[in-house]
């Protein structure tokens, strides 16, 4: 039986678009294009790691960054089910939401490990070296705690939007209905 081969690509993004580039280049002083995010594309899906753990979406479905490069890293003959088992194992050990770190265990480390597992070829060194470059700059050291908080802040905002916004809308509707009732009764009294 002949196993089919699957193309494997690394999608390289810039986080935060223009603002991320400004912070990286002008404030921190690093030479790279901006803060990198990577995802691994294989089996018709894009796999990535963040503060919510391992996720997947349609290729280019990651909307928090701007795609700037597609890097072909080869092909794999590893079946999708075997890859999913590997992902499931890693999602309980190295790549959990609790283990995410902007500098030490991020999306680029994940993509590197996945690409090496599937093809033997990893993420370009310039991407993996970016955290060390940031921490080698005085402003990078000063801002490191802020950068480390960004994923949790995004998670909190998502949680608030998902859980608190519907409650706020319900309260506003109740207030509006109460106001309409008061105005309606006032109008009846005036007549």
Q: Please provide the DSSP assignment of 32-92 as one string.
A: SSS-EEEEEEETTEEEEEETTEEEEESTT---SEEEEEEEEEEEE---HHHHHHHHHHHTT
- Strand arrangement, sheet containing 53-57: 53-57, 45-50, 36-42, 6-15, 65-76
3-state DSSP call for residue 6?
strand
- Whether the per-residue pLDDT at 90 is higher than 90: the answer is yes
pLDDT at site 189: 58
Residue found by looking up tokens 């105005």 in the block = 183
Residue found by looking up tokens 């993004």 in the block = 13
pLDDT at site 157: 66
105 contacts 99 by C-beta, under 8 angstroms = yes
- Whether the per-residue pLDDT at 79 is higher than 80: the answer is yes
Taking CA atoms, 152 is separated from 32, 51, 58, in Å, by 24, 7, 24
From the list 6, 107, 109, 160, the catalytic residue is: 107
pLDDT at site 67: 93
- pLDDT per residue over 96-120, tens digit each? 999 999 899 999 999 999 999 999 9
Sign of the Cα torsion 56, 59, 65, 69 reads positive
Q: What is the pTM of this model?
A: 0.77
pLDDT at site 22: 80
C-alpha span between 156 and 162 (Å, rounded): 10
End-to-end CA distance of the chain: 87
pLDDT at site 106: 94
pLDDT at site 156: 65
- pLDDT per residue over 160-170, tens digit each? 666 665 666 67
Mean pLDDT of the chain: 84
37: annotated active-site residue: yes
From the list 37, 57, 159, 160, the catalytic residue is: 37
14 contacts 65 by C-beta, under 8 angstroms = yes
Query: Which tokens belong to 20?
Result: 């991320």
- pLDDT per residue over 120-137, tens digit each? 999 999 999 999 998 898
Q: What is the mean pLDDT of residues 59-76?
A: 92
- Whether the per-residue pLDDT at 186 is higher than 60: the answer is no
- pLDDT per residue over 133-153, tens digit each? 988 988 888 888 887 777 766
pLDDT > 90 in the chain, percent: 48
Q: What is the mean pLDDT of residues 77-86?
A: 96
């Amino acid at each position: 039986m002949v196993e089919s081969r699957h193309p494997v690509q690394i999608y390289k993004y810039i986080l935060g678009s223009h603002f991320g580039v400004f912070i990286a280049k002008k404030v921190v002083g690093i030479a790279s294009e901006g803060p990198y995010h990577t995802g691994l594309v294989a089996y018709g899906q894009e796999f990535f790691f963040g503060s919510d753990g391992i996720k997947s979406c349609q290729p280019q479905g990651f909307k928090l960054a701007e795609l700037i490069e597609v890097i072909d890293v080869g092909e794999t003959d590893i079946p999708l089910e075997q890859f999913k088992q590997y992902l499931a194992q890693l999602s309980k050990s190295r790549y959990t939401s609790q283990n995410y770190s902007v500098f030490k265990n991020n999306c680029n480390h994940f993509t590197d490990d996945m690409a090496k597992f599937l093809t033997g070829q990893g993420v370009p060194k310039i991407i993996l070296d970016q955290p060390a470059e940031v921490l080698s700059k005085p402003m990078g050291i000063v801002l490191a705690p802020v950068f480390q908080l960004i994923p949790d802040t995004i998670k909190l905002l998502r949680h608030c939007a998902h859980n608190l916004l519907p409650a706020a809308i319900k309260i506003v509707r109740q207030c509006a209905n109460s106001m309409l009732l008061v105005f309606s009764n006032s109008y009846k009294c005036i007549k």
